[in-house]
């Protein structure tokens, strides 16, 4: 089982979040569990290689 970090917050009655490796792609849910399901779907979409030109965060050692 893989893990990936995400950032989320509650805005009024909904939860908003994004995967830290893909900060340009936000999603939302009516509950925290709903947000988690949307984040999983988003991860699957972004890593499927079916969507072109996806921007991702990298790390550089200097």
Domain boundaries, the chain: 6-47
Model confidence pLDDT, tens digit, residues 32-47: 999 999 999 999 999 9
With beta carbons less than 8 A apart as the criterion, state whether 42 and 27 touch. Answer: yes
User: Which residue stretches of the chain have pLDDT < 70?
Assistant: none
With beta carbons less than 8 A apart as the criterion, state whether 14 and 29 touch. Answer: yes
Torsion of CA 39, 58, 7, 30, to 10 degrees: -20
State how far Cα 3 lies from the chain centre.
12
The whole-model pTM stands at 0.88
Could you give the residue ranges of the DSSP H alpha helices within 1-62? 32-47
With beta carbons less than 8 A apart as the criterion, state whether 45 and 37 touch. Answer: no
């Amino acid at each position: 089982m893989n893990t990936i970090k995400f950032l989320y917050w509650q805005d009024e009655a909904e939860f908003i979040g994004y995967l830290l490796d893909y900060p340009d792609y936000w999603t939302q849910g009516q509950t925290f569990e709903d947000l988690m399901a949307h984040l999983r779907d988003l991860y699957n979409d972004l890593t499927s290689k079916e969507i072109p030109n996806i921007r991702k965060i990298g790390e550089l050692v200097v």
